Amino acid sequence: MKAAVIVFPGSNRERDAVAALEAASGVRPFQVWHRDTELPDVDLIVIPGGFSYGDYLRSGAMAAHSPIMREVKARAERGVRVLGVCNGFQIITEAGLLPGALRRNAALKFICKHAPLRVENTDSPFTAKYAKGQVVRFPVAHHDGNFWADADTVKRLEDNGQVAFRYVTPEGEASEAGNLNGSVANIAGIFNEKRTVLGLMPHPEDAVEALHGNTDGRALFDGLVEALS
């Protein structure tokens, strides 16, 4: 599997994404600067976490208009898989690759912890290596991770099976107690309609080695390698 990781001014998780992809595939991904206009021939594009443009204006809003994003959107339309993590989720939402928006956390505080998540749909290359309903733990580190969409959009996401991960309690309950940032319907990550694009706020790339404290994120990258190699 060949992958490219896009780097913006203020990205800070691109090395983590590269390490996770290389560990799973054995192939070092390309790193592409945001001002570039072309992408190499790849099977997967990763928009990493961080604080692109310092989160000025609105998280992800300026990066969504970087020159490389025109090519990212063109590749996504052709079916190339796109993974957006944390700030990457904010960027691809601002770019229109996914519906909804990411707002300030409900408590207006930065959250940095391991969060339990429930896998909601395994019918995608991103989640095929998990069991439906499995509870995993991914690190979260964000201030603007409160996913919001209007009621019609949330219903469409639910009806189409586009909810990938949901914030839950350690016991797996999608209750208010498990909703760490106030996201509508406890949503932590969503697919596009074709399930070729995934955006999520938690960081699977930081849960792939024992030194990370757990390896629950490794299955996401292993699934991509199996599906795209």
Task: Tokens for 68, please give them.
Answer: 């490389």
Q: Pick the closest to residue 68 from 31, 24, 28 (CA basis).
A: 31
Task: Tokens for 196, please give them.
Answer: 């070729």
Task: Tokens for 116, please give them.
Answer: 């339990």
Strand partners, 85: 200
Task: Tokens for 36, please give them.
Answer: 């570039």
Q: Which residues are catalytic?
A: 86, 203, 205
Q: Return the half-sphere exposure (C-beta side, CA atoms, 13 A cut-off) of residue 106.
A: 11
Cβ neighbors of 216 (< 8 A, separation 6 or more) are 136, 137, 138, 204, 207
Q: Other C-beta atoms within 10 Å of 189: how many?
A: 30
